Amino acid sequence: MTRRRRIYEGKAKILYEGPEPGTLVQYFKDDATAFNAQKKGTITGKGVLNNRISEYLMQKLGEIGIPTHFVRRLNMREQLVREVEIIPIEVVVRNVAAGSLTKRFGIPEGTPLPRSIVEYYYKNDELGDPMVSEEHITAFGWAAPQDLDDMLSLALRINDYLSGLFLGIGLKLVDFKVEFGRLWENEEMRIVLADEISPDNCRLWDSKTNEKLDKDRFRQDLGNVAEAYQEVARRLGILPEAGPGDHTPPKLVQ
């Protein structure tokens, strides 16, 4: 058997060459990092849960017309995706104050924001992912003004849809980070959602108790990290134990 070619290894995922040209296999690891990789650890089962959660959310977003790189899940830890040219910008959407926003502006954690706030960060580990403005992004050519318009409107649509989806299962979407890529099809380029959407890059709090069910449990040493990710999957009705094709719909919380 020939070994697959590894295209790229990141902190939480590995990308392998896919079975057909223009495709990649995205492998989800159990590794976790925080604070620009100063804190490292392993969360047993995280990769399996994130693979399944991201599959579910990407499919749902696809159904409402958000173009994504997702093709299909292959197994417990891998999914097939379209090969895209990643735009080196992390788009963060915030609904409630948490994380770096609380530090930067001295706003207490948990303060609802007057409206959703979008921020951009330049993806560069050596520089610690600095926050950038639209001016930087277009002046330095990381994205064209039209690309940036598409990214902004997609990020806001993703926020609207996911906020409602999570609210329905008793979770508050505090903030999240998404990445986009350029997908080329016969000379035409489209901006599509790439990477993953999971508790690694969303803040999700229980609507009633504000219990954290996301990577902050790892960042802040709160314990029960895998259990929290599992609880998100359980509420979505997609616990991997249920087996493929055996999905119960998300449980509505009144």
177 binds ligand UDP (CB under 6 A): yes
With respect to ligand UDP, which residue has the nearer C-beta, 73 or 177?
177
Token look-up 């001295």 returns 106
Is residue 111 within 8 A of residue 99, CB to CB? The reply is: no
Binding to ligand UDP by CB under 6 A, coded x per residue (else -) over 113-142, reads: ----------------x-------------
One of 27, 56, 70, 176 touching ligand UDP (CB under 6 A): 176
The Cα–Cα gap between 47 and 182 comes to 25
Shortest Å, Cβ 124 to ligand UDP:
11
79-118 residues near ligand UDP, rule: CB under 6 A: 90, 92, 98-101
Beta carbons of 182 and 191 less than 8 angstroms apart: yes
Toward ligand UDP, which CB reaches closer, 69 or 215? 215
Binding mask 194-233 for ligand UDP (x = CB under 6 A): -------xxx-----------x------------------
Query: What tokens were used for 102?
Result: 């609380």
Nearer to ligand UDP, 18 or 70 (CB): 70
Where residue 83 falls (left for φ over 0; alpha for ψ -120 to 50; beta otherwise) is: beta
If you count them, how many residues does the chain have?
Answer: 254
Q: Which residues pair with 25 in a beta bridge?
A: 16, 80
- Minimum separation from the CB atom of position 175 to ligand UDP (A): 4
Q: In the bound complex, what is the minimum distance in angstroms from residue 99's beta carbon to ligand UDP?
A: 2
- CB of 109 or CB of 134, closer to ligand UDP: 109
State the Cα–Cα distance between residues 224 and 230, nearest whole angstrom. Answer: 10
Select the residue whose beta carbon is closest to ligand UDP and give its number. Answer: 99
* Contact present, 95 and 118 (Cβ < 8 Å): no
Q: Would you count residue 55 as binding ligand UDP (CB under 6 A)?
A: no
**φ/ψ bin of 38: left (φ > 0), alpha (ψ from -120 to 50), beta (otherwise):** alpha
Residue 201 phi, psi (nearest 5) = -125, 15
Residues at the site binding ligand UDP, with contacts judged by CB under 6 A: 90, 92, 98-101, 129, 175-177, 201-203, 215
